[in-house]
Chain A
Amino acid sequence: MSLETAIRNRDGAAFVPYIMAGDGGLDQLIPTIERLEAMGATAIELGIPFSDPVADGPIIEAAGMRALADGVTLSGVLDCLIEGTERFSVPIVLMTYLNPVFRFGIQPFFDRAAACGVSGVIIPDLPFEESLELFAGIERNGVAVVPLVTLTSNKQRIDTILSQAEGFVYAVTLKGTTGKVDAFPDELLAHLRSLTERSPVPVLAGFGVHREDQVRALGEACDGVVVGSFIVEALHAGREQDVADLIAAARRVKA
C-alpha cells in the first residue's frame, strides 16, 4: 500500500509515530515496528541517527546519540529492514539528515531504500530547491520525498512545494525544533486547514505534539499528526501504554 493510500484509508486522524532507529538496540527495531502497527499506527517515521541534528530538540538528539554510541548506521538500518519486511505491512518513512544519504550515494540510497520496502523519505535539511537539483536524473523507485512546510514559508513557496508533494506534506507546527510544547502558535489551525484544502496529498502536522487534546485539535484541522519526542521518550522509559493511548485517541478523532 502506498504511503498516501495508507493515510487516506485511516480511521480517525492519521497517527505517525517517530522512532529513533537503534535506540535500545537494532534488534528491537522490527519488534517495535510490529507493536506500533498493532496499536494502530498509520505509518512509522524511522529516524536515522546523525551527529549534528539541527532540526531536533534534546530528546531526539539524545536518542540519536545513544544509537550512534551503539554503532547504528543508515546502511545497518536498511539491512535490518530488509530482513523484517515480511513481518509488518505498515509503511516506513525514513527521516534522515542529508549527509548520511549523500555519503551512501543518492542513487544507491533510493535503490536500497526501495528494495527494503521504504515508502518515503523526509530530509529536514534539504529544502525543495536543493532537492530538485540533487535528485535530478535520479530514479527514486517510488520512494516518496515528503516535503516540509513551515509557518515561515510564504504562500508562493507553499504553492510550489504543494504542487510537487509526494506521500504527504509534513506541516511543521511551530518555529523551533522537535520537542514537546504546551501551546502552538495562534495561526496554526487556520494554516493547517488552508494547507489541507490546497494540498493534493494528505497533510500531517508534526513538532511539539504530545497530548490527546493536541492530537484531536490538529487531527481535526488536517489529516493527522506525526509524534516524535513524546514517543521516543515513552519507548525509552518503557511506557508503551502511553503510546497506545495516544494512538487510540487519534483513531477516535472524527474525520
Chain B
Amino acid sequence: MYTQPVNGKFGPYGGKYIPETLMQAVEELEVAYEEAKLDPEFQERFDALLSEYVGRETPLYYAENMSRRLGTNVYLKREDLNHTGAHKINNTIGQALLAKRMGKQKIVAETGAGQHGVATATVCALLNLECTIFMGEVDVERQELNVFRMELLGATVIPVKSGSRTLKDAVNEALRYWVKHVDDTHYVMGSVLGPHPFPTMVRDFQSVIGTETRRQILDKTGRLPDAVIACVGGGSNAMGMFYPFLNDEDVALYGVEAAGSGVDTDKHAATLTKGEVGVLHGSLMYVLQDGAGQIQEAHSISAGLDYPGVGPEHSFLKDIERVRYAAVTDEAALEACMSLSRHEGIIPALESSHALAYAETLAATMDEDDLLVICLSGRGDKDVHTIRERVGQK
C-alpha cells in the first residue's frame, strides 16, 4: 500500500521548488544521502552516537495512572529523555554526519522556539562544525534562554527582522544564507519539510522512534498497538513514529495539529485541517494561505507547532487516509500538560501535550484491553515560563 517517494514526490506533494542556485547543492545532497544510507560505517557511527551520546533507546513507558484514568492501556514513547530534551537531535546528528561526509564544515539552520537550534548547535560543538542559526526576532525575545544555550554551545544566533519575525521568516533567511554560502555550507532542515531529499531524509533519521516503539510494544505485550498518536507541526516526530507502522494496517495512526484559539478563529496552526495545497520553502504541501496565495501566520501556544506548512508526506497520508489528522486547542493542550505533570510526574513539552490531549478524546472510543501509544516528543522544561504565564492569567 505504501511506496517510497517517486522523483522526490509523495503523490503530488514534495518536489524541489527552490531557486536555481540551490539545485546543484540539493542534488549533491541527494546523491550523498543515498550513498551514506548504503554505507555500513555511516550507519554504525549514527547508531553509536544515538546510543552513547543521545542515550537511546528511549523507554516505552507504561503510564499506569493515565491508563487507569483513561480506561485503556497508555504507553508513552519517552523522546523527552533524549539528550537536549526532544526528538530533534536524532535528525541533527544524522545530518551533521552527512555534512562532514560531504566535506562541508559549516552548518546553517533555522529555529522557532530554539529546540532544533539547540540540537543543531549541540551536534556542531561535538563534531567541530561552524554553526549559524537564524531565529525570528519575536522568538529570540520569547526564548532568551535558548538563545543563550545556543551561544554557550558555540553557535552564532542571528535574529530575523523580516516578515512576521517568527519561524517561517527564519526559514526564509536561512535559505537566503544558504544560497550565498552554498559552496561550503550544509542546511540542517529541522523537520520533514523543504525540497527533496529533506523530507525523506529527516523522516529516515527520525524513524528510529517508530522502529524502537514497534519492537518495544511487541516485547512488552506480544502485539502491535491499536492506535498511535503524535503531534504534528512540520511533522518530524510524527513521521518518525508513523513510518515503521505504515504497512501495519490494523494500527490506527493519528496526527494532532495545533488548533490555537480554535480552528474557526484566525489564530491556529491546523494546516492539514484548514489549509489548502500550495508551495512553501521548496515543497508542495498543505499550507495556511489566503485566497491570493499569500502565506498566513500560524498561531499556537507551542512554538514548535507554530508553522504554516506541514510535511509533504503527511499531506499525502492525509489524502490517502492512512493517517487521521485532528486539531487540539491551546487550552486543551495546556490542561493535558498539567494533568501529566500532576498524575504521572512528567512535564511534557507543549507540543507533545497536543498528542496527550487528543488521547483523552480517542480513549473514550477504546476498550480497556486496547493499546494506545503516544509519542512524548519532548520535555516541558522549556515551556514552564509560558505555562506559568497562561495559568496565572486564569
Contacts and interface: CB of A to CB of B under 8 A. Distances in A.
A99 B23 contact: no
B278 interface: yes
Contacts of B168: 52
Given A52-B280, A65-B163, A103 B180 contact: no
Contacts of A58: 162
A177 B176 contact: yes
Contacts, number: 114
Interface residues of B, number: 38
B16 A129 contact: yes
A102 B162 CA distance: 24
Contact of B293 (A102, A126, A177): A102
A74 interface: yes
A55 B292 contact: no
Contacts of B119: none
Nearest to B295: A51
Contact of A152 (B176, B182, B277): B182
B176 A99 contact: no
B274 interface: no
A84 interface: no
B19 A125 contact: yes
B19 A52 contact: no
A151 B24 CA distance: 10
Interface in B14-29: 15-25
B21 A100 contact: no
A153 B20 contact: yes
B289 interface: yes
The prevalent SS among residues of B at the interface is: mixed
Contacts of A154: 24
A153 to B, nearest CB: 6
A177 B162 CA distance: 14
Contacts of A129: 16
Interface string A208-228: 000000000000000000000
B172 interface: yes
Contact of A103 (B23, B175, B179, B291): B291
A45 interface: no
A129 B24 CA distance: 13
B128 interface: no
B182 to A, nearest CB: 6
16 contacts: A51-B296, A55-B19, A61-B163, A73-B294, A99-B293, A99-B294, A103-B278, A125-B279, A125-B282, A129-B16, A148-B19, A150-B19, A152-B21, A154-B24, A176-B179, A177-B176
Interface of A: 50-55, 57-58, 61, 65, 68, 73-75, 97-104, 124-127, 129-130, 147-154, 157, 172, 175-177
Interface of B: 15-25, 162-163, 168-169, 172, 175-176, 179-183, 276-282, 287, 289, 291-296
Given A100-B292, A175-B180, 17 more contacts: A51-B163, A52-B280, A52-B281, A53-B172, A75-B292, A98-B279, A99-B289, A102-B293, A103-B276, A127-B17, A147-B20, A152-B20, A153-B23, A153-B24, A154-B24, A175-B181, A176-B21
